[in-house]
């Protein structure tokens, strides 16, 4: 997933840009294929995805939980799980493209 900063809400994108590159480049436990933005493979791609979704979607509790974990630089396993759940709750998970089951 490669999107430029021009496609993102500036306030959200700036927050993620200020984070450590070595943290943002960590790979998720498994790729998360989405129906609206390619496949998320790193924490940075998850951040870019969040910055590109609507303000309404981003305000939902499941996205706020993802953001809180990223802000805390939480373990990649926790972020991967919450990110996958958030995409799923928004009905944006491309289940047909999953390489392994959710359970």
Residue 6 has pLDDT above 50, yes or no: no
Residue 5 pLDDT > 60, yes or no? no
Q: What is the pLDDT of residue 34?
A: 95
What secondary structure, in 3-state letters, does the chain show? CCCCHHHCCHHHHHHHHCCCHHHHCCEEEEEEEECCCCEEEEHHHHHHHHHHCCHHHHCCHHHHHHHHHHHCCCCHHHHHHHHHHHHHHCCCECHHHCCCCCC
Between 1 and 54, name the one with better pLDDT.
Answer: 54
Per-residue pLDDT reduced to its tens digit, 27-45: 999 999 999 869 999 999 9
Over pLDDT 90: what percentage of the chain?
59
């Amino acid at each position: 997933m490669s999107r430029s900063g021009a496609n993102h809400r500036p306030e959200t994108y700036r927050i993620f840009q200020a984070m450590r590159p070595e943290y943002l480049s960590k790979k998720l436990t498994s790729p998360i294929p989405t129906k609206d933005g390619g496949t998320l493979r790193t924490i940075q791609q998850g951040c870019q995805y969040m910055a590109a979704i609507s303000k309404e979607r981003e305000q939902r509790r499941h996205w706020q939980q993802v953001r809180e974990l990223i802000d805390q630089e939480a373990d990649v396993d926790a972020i991967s799980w919450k990110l996958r759940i958030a995409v799923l709750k928004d009905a944006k998970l491309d289940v047909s493209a999953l390489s392994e089951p959710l359970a």
